[in-house]
Protein backbone atom coordinates (compact mmCIF):
# COMPACT_ATOMS: atom_id res chain seq x y z
CA UNK A 1 0.00 0.00 0.00
CA UNK A 2 2.91 2.35 0.68
CA UNK A 3 4.13 1.89 -2.91
CA UNK A 4 0.66 2.77 -4.23
CA UNK A 5 0.52 5.80 -1.94
CA UNK A 6 3.89 6.96 -3.28
CA UNK A 7 2.81 6.47 -6.94
CA UNK A 8 -0.45 8.33 -6.36
CA UNK A 9 1.21 11.41 -4.82
CA UNK A 10 1.36 13.02 -8.26
CA UNK A 11 -2.38 12.53 -8.92
CA UNK A 12 -4.30 15.52 -7.54
CA UNK A 13 -7.85 14.10 -7.61
CA UNK A 14 -8.97 10.47 -7.48
CA UNK A 15 -12.66 9.73 -8.11
CA UNK A 16 -14.45 6.36 -8.05
CA UNK A 17 -17.53 5.86 -10.22
CA UNK A 18 -19.87 3.25 -8.71
CA UNK A 19 -23.24 1.71 -9.50
CA UNK A 20 -25.40 -0.79 -7.70
CA UNK A 21 -26.16 -2.76 -10.86
CA UNK A 22 -25.01 -3.10 -14.43
CA UNK A 23 -26.58 -1.35 -17.39
CA UNK A 24 -27.11 2.05 -15.78
CA UNK A 25 -24.50 3.85 -17.89
CA UNK A 26 -21.67 3.92 -15.34
CA UNK A 27 -18.89 3.20 -17.82
CA UNK A 28 -20.38 5.60 -20.36
CA UNK A 29 -20.63 8.28 -17.67
CA UNK A 30 -17.01 7.62 -16.65
CA UNK A 31 -15.82 7.87 -20.24
CA UNK A 32 -17.73 11.12 -20.84
CA UNK A 33 -16.54 12.59 -17.55
CA UNK A 34 -12.96 11.72 -18.46
CA UNK A 35 -13.47 13.10 -21.98
CA UNK A 36 -14.77 16.37 -20.60
CA UNK A 37 -11.95 16.60 -18.09
CA UNK A 38 -9.43 15.71 -20.81
CA UNK A 39 -9.67 19.21 -22.21
CA UNK A 40 -6.84 19.64 -19.73
CA UNK A 41 -4.00 17.68 -21.31
CA UNK A 42 -2.80 16.33 -17.95
CA UNK A 43 -5.95 14.32 -17.25
CA UNK A 44 -5.47 10.57 -16.89
CA UNK A 45 -8.33 8.08 -16.88
CA UNK A 46 -8.24 4.61 -15.37
CA UNK A 47 -11.08 2.20 -16.17
CA UNK A 48 -11.17 -0.48 -13.48
CA UNK A 49 -13.99 -2.47 -15.07
CA UNK A 50 -12.13 -5.75 -15.23
CA UNK A 51 -15.45 -7.59 -15.25
CA UNK A 52 -17.34 -5.37 -17.76
CA UNK A 53 -17.48 -7.05 -21.19
CA UNK A 54 -19.11 -4.03 -22.82
CA UNK A 55 -15.98 -1.92 -22.37
CA UNK A 56 -14.05 -4.06 -24.82
CA UNK A 57 -16.33 -3.02 -27.66
CA UNK A 58 -16.47 0.63 -26.62
CA UNK A 59 -12.88 1.43 -25.77
CA UNK A 60 -10.15 0.41 -28.16
CA UNK A 61 -7.03 -1.23 -26.82
CA UNK A 62 -8.71 -3.06 -23.95
CA UNK A 63 -9.29 -6.77 -23.68
CA UNK A 64 -11.72 -8.47 -21.35
CA UNK A 65 -10.33 -10.43 -18.42
CA UNK A 66 -11.45 -13.97 -19.20
CA UNK A 67 -11.25 -15.30 -15.66
CA UNK A 68 -12.56 -12.82 -13.11
CA UNK A 69 -11.30 -14.85 -10.15
CA UNK A 70 -11.35 -12.50 -7.16
CA UNK A 71 -7.75 -13.14 -6.05
CA UNK A 72 -6.41 -12.62 -9.58
CA UNK A 73 -8.44 -9.45 -10.01
CA UNK A 74 -7.36 -8.04 -6.62
CA UNK A 75 -3.72 -8.72 -7.48
CA UNK A 76 -4.14 -7.08 -10.88
CA UNK A 77 -5.71 -3.97 -9.32
CA UNK A 78 -2.89 -3.70 -6.80
CA UNK A 79 -0.19 -4.28 -9.42
CA UNK A 80 -1.76 -1.81 -11.84
CA UNK A 81 -2.03 0.96 -9.24
CA UNK A 82 1.47 0.25 -7.96
CA UNK A 83 3.31 -0.14 -11.28
CA UNK A 84 1.83 2.55 -13.53
CA UNK A 85 3.74 5.83 -13.54
CA UNK A 86 0.88 8.34 -13.59
CA UNK A 87 3.08 11.42 -13.76
CA UNK A 88 1.75 14.85 -12.82
CA UNK A 89 -1.99 14.60 -13.50
CA UNK A 90 -5.12 16.35 -12.32
CA UNK A 91 -7.77 13.59 -12.29
CA UNK A 92 -7.91 9.84 -12.11
CA UNK A 93 -11.38 8.43 -12.84
CA UNK A 94 -11.79 4.86 -11.59
CA UNK A 95 -14.68 3.02 -13.26
CA UNK A 96 -15.48 0.09 -10.98
CA UNK A 97 -17.50 -3.05 -11.71
CA UNK A 98 -21.19 -2.79 -10.73
CA UNK A 99 -22.30 -3.83 -7.26
CA UNK A 100 -20.36 -4.03 -4.01
CA UNK A 101 -17.70 -6.67 -4.52
CA UNK A 102 -14.22 -7.55 -3.39
CA UNK A 103 -12.94 -5.39 -6.26
CA UNK A 104 -14.60 -2.35 -4.67
CA UNK A 105 -13.09 -3.11 -1.30
CA UNK A 106 -9.67 -3.57 -2.92
CA UNK A 107 -9.82 -0.30 -4.84
CA UNK A 108 -11.00 1.63 -1.77
CA UNK A 109 -8.39 -0.03 0.47
CA UNK A 110 -5.54 0.66 -1.96
CA UNK A 111 -6.59 4.22 -2.77
CA UNK A 112 -7.68 5.28 0.73
CA UNK A 113 -4.09 5.71 1.80
CA UNK A 114 -3.56 7.88 -1.29
CA UNK A 115 -6.38 10.23 -0.24
CA UNK A 116 -9.20 9.39 -2.64
CA UNK A 117 -11.57 12.34 -3.13
CA UNK A 118 -14.74 10.27 -3.14
CA UNK A 119 -17.31 8.48 -5.26
CA UNK A 120 -19.91 9.37 -7.83
CA UNK A 121 -22.79 6.88 -7.82
CA UNK A 122 -24.71 6.24 -11.05
CA UNK A 123 -28.32 5.07 -11.05
CA UNK A 124 -31.43 5.10 -13.23
CA UNK A 125 -34.99 6.01 -12.25
CA UNK A 126 -36.17 2.36 -12.08
CA UNK A 127 -37.01 1.15 -8.58
CA UNK A 128 -34.61 -1.82 -8.73
CA UNK A 129 -31.73 0.54 -9.53
CA UNK A 130 -32.73 2.90 -6.74
CA UNK A 131 -32.72 -0.01 -4.28
CA UNK A 132 -29.23 -0.95 -5.41
CA UNK A 133 -27.97 2.63 -5.12
CA UNK A 134 -29.00 2.58 -1.46
CA UNK A 135 -26.63 -0.38 -1.02
CA UNK A 136 -23.86 1.62 -2.70
CA UNK A 137 -24.49 4.55 -0.36
CA UNK A 138 -24.32 2.20 2.63
CA UNK A 139 -21.10 0.70 1.23
CA UNK A 140 -19.56 4.17 0.95
CA UNK A 141 -20.56 5.03 4.50
CA UNK A 142 -19.24 1.72 5.83
CA UNK A 143 -15.79 2.20 4.25
CA UNK A 144 -15.80 5.97 4.97
CA UNK A 145 -15.70 6.89 1.28
CA UNK A 146 -17.10 10.40 0.71
CA UNK A 147 -19.96 10.62 -1.79
CA UNK A 148 -19.36 13.42 -4.27
CA UNK A 149 -22.75 13.00 -5.88
CA UNK A 150 -25.44 10.70 -7.26
CA UNK A 151 -26.25 10.86 -10.98
CA UNK A 152 -29.63 9.69 -12.21
CA UNK A 153 -28.89 8.54 -15.74
CA UNK A 154 -31.37 7.74 -18.53
CA UNK A 155 -34.08 9.91 -17.04
CA UNK A 156 -35.09 10.99 -20.50
CA UNK A 157 -34.07 13.62 -22.99
CA UNK A 158 -36.34 16.28 -24.45
CA UNK A 159 -35.31 17.29 -27.94
CA UNK A 160 -34.78 21.07 -27.98
CA UNK A 161 -36.13 21.30 -31.55
CA UNK A 162 -39.26 19.14 -31.50
CA UNK A 163 -39.85 19.03 -27.70
CA UNK A 164 -40.37 15.24 -27.82
CA UNK A 165 -39.02 13.11 -24.98
CA UNK A 166 -36.56 10.56 -26.33
CA UNK A 167 -36.51 7.09 -24.84
CA UNK A 168 -32.82 6.62 -25.50
CA UNK A 169 -30.57 6.72 -28.51
CA UNK A 170 -27.87 4.55 -29.93
CA UNK A 171 -24.70 5.66 -28.14
CA UNK A 172 -22.57 2.88 -29.57
CA UNK A 173 -21.29 4.81 -32.58
CA UNK A 174 -18.17 5.95 -30.78
CA UNK A 175 -19.08 9.61 -31.14
CA UNK A 176 -19.02 12.05 -28.25
CA UNK A 177 -22.19 14.02 -27.65
CA UNK A 178 -19.99 16.53 -25.82
CA UNK A 179 -18.64 17.55 -29.23
CA UNK A 180 -21.63 16.67 -31.44
CA UNK A 181 -24.23 18.49 -29.32
CA UNK A 182 -22.36 21.12 -27.28
CA UNK A 183 -25.54 23.01 -26.32
CA UNK A 184 -27.68 19.99 -25.40
CA UNK A 185 -28.98 19.67 -21.83
CA UNK A 186 -26.90 16.50 -21.37
CA UNK A 187 -23.68 18.23 -22.45
CA UNK A 188 -24.45 21.23 -20.27
CA UNK A 189 -25.05 18.89 -17.31
CA UNK A 190 -21.66 17.23 -17.86
CA UNK A 191 -19.99 20.63 -18.15
CA UNK A 192 -21.63 21.62 -14.86
CA UNK A 193 -20.31 18.46 -13.17
CA UNK A 194 -16.82 19.04 -14.58
CA UNK A 195 -16.72 22.62 -13.32
Domain of 39, CATH number, reads: 3.40.50.300
Terminal Cα-to-Cα distance of the chain (whole angstroms) = 31
Spatial contact of 154 and 168, defined as CB atoms under 8 Å apart: yes
Identify whether residues 75 and 151 lie together within a single domain.
yes
Q: What is the pLDDT of residues 113-172, one digit of tens each?
A: 788 899 999 998 888 888 888 989 998 998 899 999 999 887 766 667 777 665 444 344
The pLDDT value given to residue 65: 45
Please check whether residues 60 and 148 belong to one and the same domain: yes
CA 163 to chain centre: 30
Does 37 score more than 70 pLDDT?
yes
- pLDDT of 141 reads 92
The answer on 34 and 93 residing in a single domain is yes
Residue 41 has pLDDT above 90, yes or no: no
Question: Residues near 12 by Cβ (< 8 Å), separated by ≥ 6?
Answer: 89, 90, 91
The whole domain housing 110 covers 2-155
Lowest-confidence pick of 47-61, 76-90, 99-113, 130-144:
47-61
Amino acid sequence: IEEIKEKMKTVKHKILVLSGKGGVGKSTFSAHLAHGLAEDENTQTLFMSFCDPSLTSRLSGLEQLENSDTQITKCMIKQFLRDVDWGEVDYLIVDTPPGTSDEHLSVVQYLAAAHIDGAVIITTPQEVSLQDVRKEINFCRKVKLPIIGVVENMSGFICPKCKVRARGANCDKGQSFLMDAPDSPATLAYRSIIQ
